[in-house]
Amino acid sequence: MLIALVVVVYSCASVGRLEGGPVDEMPPRFLSSTPSPNALNNTRPRISILFDEYIKLDKPGEKVIISPPQVIQPDVKASGKRVVVELKDSLRPNTTYTIDFGDAIQDNNEGNPLGDFSFVFSTGAVIDSMVISGTVLNAANLEPVKGIQVGLYADLSDTAFTTKPLERAGRTDSRGRYSIRGVAPGKYRIFALQDADRNYHFNQPVEVIAFYDSLIIPSMEERMRMDTVWKDTITIDTVIARKYTHYLPDDLLLRTFKEHVSSQRLARSERPEAHKFSLYFTAPADTLPLLKGLNFDADNAFVVEKPTGRIDTLTYWIKDSLIYKIDTLKMSLEYLYTDSLKQLVPRTDTLKLASRARPKASQEKDKNKKKKKGEEAADSIPKIEFLTMDVYAPATMDIYDYLSLSFQEPIAWFDSAGIRLEHKVDSLWEAMPYRFAKDSIDIKRYNLLADWGAGQSYAFTVDSTAFHGLYGLFTAPVRKEFAIKKLDEYGQIFFNIEGAESTAFVELLDGSDKVVRTVPVTSGKADFYFLNPGKYGARLIIDTNKNGVWDTGNYANKIQPEMVYYYTQVLELKANFDLTQDWNLTAQPLDKQKPDELKKQKPDEDNKKRKQNNRNSSNRR
């Protein structure tokens, strides 16, 4: 009895000891299954797989993929030490089935994943064993694409991808890697698909896709690898050469994109304030719509704010107070509309726009109506409201920068004599020339450019009433003094580029992969001057259509997205220092180019190590 009591006490103490036990880092181990792995002539739709410990499934709806893809979603669940899969679709005859779990199977306690685990059986007398693998990257920024389906068609027609489910499929891991198993000998087309409606083919404009231009012919070859047998942790016993079967292709790169939505229609209209209204279209157009007032005269009644180039959002600033005081504006709007045949045709809508707020002038009249009794006469004098003007003129400015004035409404007129730029010479301020113009994109912004001297001091002055807004307000006086940075505060980066086309341009990136500056590639060079010290990456775009931006692809027209390349290092630039870098665009494959420091999609194993380190740190405290 005493011995039994001691055993019980010891057992309790062991479970609850303060220092804790070793952390389980081993994944679950496969023991057996029904049917057995690689079973032939199987007709059972229920698969049960037994492991050596209690398990759980992590996001099975996302991570588990079955080939051929199942139109009716199967039940995939964990039960104790088993994973049970119930296939709802009828099993196809003479077909190899592959259930790819990825890293969804984990042990119940520590969450250690059983990586790259798949289960195979056949309804016929043969197991198709070919494997096709590769990587999927985002075409715009070369980020690995996690969790996207990659599938094959033996049907080589162009319409298969848009009308039929994928015939065999895999899914990418956190590195963008994929493997499609159970492939029969033959010729295939390969696609990637972020399936929005779970029908396993491309039929939604919001779906992210990728396609490969050439046919895929799977093959295999015998290779040798060297296995090492160790006597202990530091002494090698034997090195054994072993044959194994390697499957090809193993490096198919797919670049994903989302097509531009080209359907043109009026999405919505609103009048947030009495003196302006906005029209929102689903896609840009080349011309302004034709607007006619039904209860007002629309001729020369507006200042129209629109983006440069093609138009998708329009704001109409109403100039006449007799118009913006009308509670509900009625108008007809004629514009180009995409019909059911995908053709642009004229369409006319009738709009009724009621104001959601009173005009500014009306609001100002009410501001000082009510005053408390006993206030002093000085307090009853209404304050002057000035036109809001935001001045961009930092105290320390870059030598390539310029001043900007931004307003909340369009400017009716301004007095150029009320704008002055002065240069400090010794201790005196001297007037200097400048260029002043309305911004090419925002009609409510004006820019002042000048030839700045490095390390020099300047002053910018706007006199009272220099700018008059569209609705009667004028600006208050402003004076800003600022200095230009010295040349030795900057560095330069010069790229000598091999393999770039004449239409290419380079985007200089900060440490978070955001664009800092863009320059065209000229005679194989891309030079960046006057850079602040810091870390920089670089991305090159082959601008095929010469429009100055990266363009997506189009499956119907078999247009791939424009090519993007990354410089393989993050450069650390110091002040008063020049970096000259040779850049061969094809020296490294695309999936090896983007520096890990710039990637947002990190490998899952890195996240696991980070969690483990955090757990160890917590245990040490």
Give the CATH number of the domain where residue 36 resides.
2.60.40.1220
End residue of a domain, out of 223, 254, 278: 223
Lowest mean pLDDT, pick from 14-18, 310-314, 461-465: 14-18
SS3 262: coil
Average pLDDT for residues 534-540, to the nearest whole number? 98
Give the pLDDT band of residue 7 (cuts 50, 70, 90). Answer: very low
3-state per-residue secondary structure call for 551-569: CCCECCCCECCCCEEECCC
What's this model's pTM, rounded to 2 decimal places?
A: 0.84
Residue 5 lies in a domain: no
The pLDDT tens digits for 353-364 are: 998 765 454 454
Taking 80 as the threshold, does the pLDDT of residue 213 lie above it?
yes
* Domain match, 480 and 497 both: no
> Residue 10's pLDDT band (boundaries 50, 70, 90)?
very low
Domain count, the chain: 4
Does residue 383 sit within a domain? no
Do 322 and 192 fall into the same domain? no
pLDDT in tens, 479-504: 999 999 999 999 999 999 999 988 99
Looking at residue 76, what is its pLDDT?
96
Q: Are residues 351 and 288 in the same domain?
A: yes
Cβ of 168: how many Cβ atoms within 10 Å? 27
Report the share of the chain in percent with pLDDT over 90.
76
Average pLDDT over residues 508-518: 96
82 and 195 part of one domain: yes
pLDDT band at 110 (very low <50, low <70, confident <90, very high): confident
Per-residue pLDDT band for 230 (boundaries 50, 70, 90) equals: confident
Find which of 60-74, 235-249, 445-459 is predicted with most confidence, using mean pLDDT: 445-459
> Do 123 and 197 fall into the same domain?
yes
Alpha-carbon dihedral sign for residues 320, 326, 329, 331: negative
Q: CA torsion, points 11, 13, 18, 19, in degrees to nearest 10?
A: -50
pLDDT for the residue numbered 613: 53
Answer for the pair 295, 330: CB distance below 8 angstroms, yes or no.
Answer: yes
Q: DSSP character for 198?
A: S
Asked which of 33-42, 198-207, 417-426 is least confident by mean pLDDT, the reply is 198-207
Q: Is residue 432 part of a domain?
A: yes
Establish if 604 belongs to a structural domain: no
Higher-confidence residue: 316 or 379? Answer: 316
Helices (H) and strands (E) in the chain, counts: 6, 44
Residue type, 143: E
More confident residue, 372 or 102: 102
- The CATH number covering residue 352 comes to 2.60.40
Q: What is the pLDDT of residue 519?
A: 97
pLDDT given at position 71: 86
Q: Is the pLDDT of residue 79 over 50?
A: yes
Residue 458 domain flag: yes
**Residue that terminates a domain, selected from 485, 512, 543:** 485
Mean predicted confidence (pLDDT) in 502-521 = 96
Asked whether the predicted pLDDT for residue 433 surpasses 90, the reply is yes
| Least confident piece of the model among 334-343, 428-437, 509-518 | 334-343
* Highest mean pLDDT, choosing among 63-67, 173-177, 227-231, 482-486: 482-486
pLDDT at 309: 60
More confidently predicted of 137 and 605: 137
Mean pLDDT calculated for residue range 26-31: 94
The stretch 400-406 carries a mean pLDDT of: 97
Regarding whether 452 and 410 lie in a shared domain, the answer is yes
Rounded Cα distance between 223 and 337, Å, is 60
Tell whether 169 is covered by a domain. Answer: yes
Mean pLDDT for 534-550 is 96
- DSSP of 86-154: E--SPPPTT-EEEEEEET-EEETTT--B-TTEEEEEESSS----EEEEEEEEETTT--B--S-EEEEES
Same domain, 181 and 76: yes
pLDDT at 371 over 50: no
- Residue 84: pLDDT over 50: yes
Residue 61 and residue 163 in one domain: yes
Characterise 111 by phi-psi region: left (phi > 0), alpha (psi -120 to 50), beta (else).
left
- Asked if residue 378 is part of any domain, the answer here is no
Residue where a domain stops, chosen among 456, 485, 514? 485
- Does residue 15 fall inside a structural domain? no
Q: What is the mean pLDDT of residues 14-33?
A: 66
- Same-domain status, 193 and 285: no
Q: Do residues 164 and 72 both lie within one domain?
A: yes
* Same domain, residue pair 444 and 576: no
CATH number of the domain bearing residue 416: 2.60.40.3710
Domain that holds residue 331: 266-360
The pLDDT of residue 242: 87
In CATH, what number is assigned to the domain containing residue 519?
A: 2.60.40.1120
Residue 15 has pLDDT above 60, yes or no: no
Mean pLDDT within 319-340: 94
Same domain, 406 and 336: no
State the average pLDDT for the chain. 89
Higher-confidence position of 404 and 340: 404
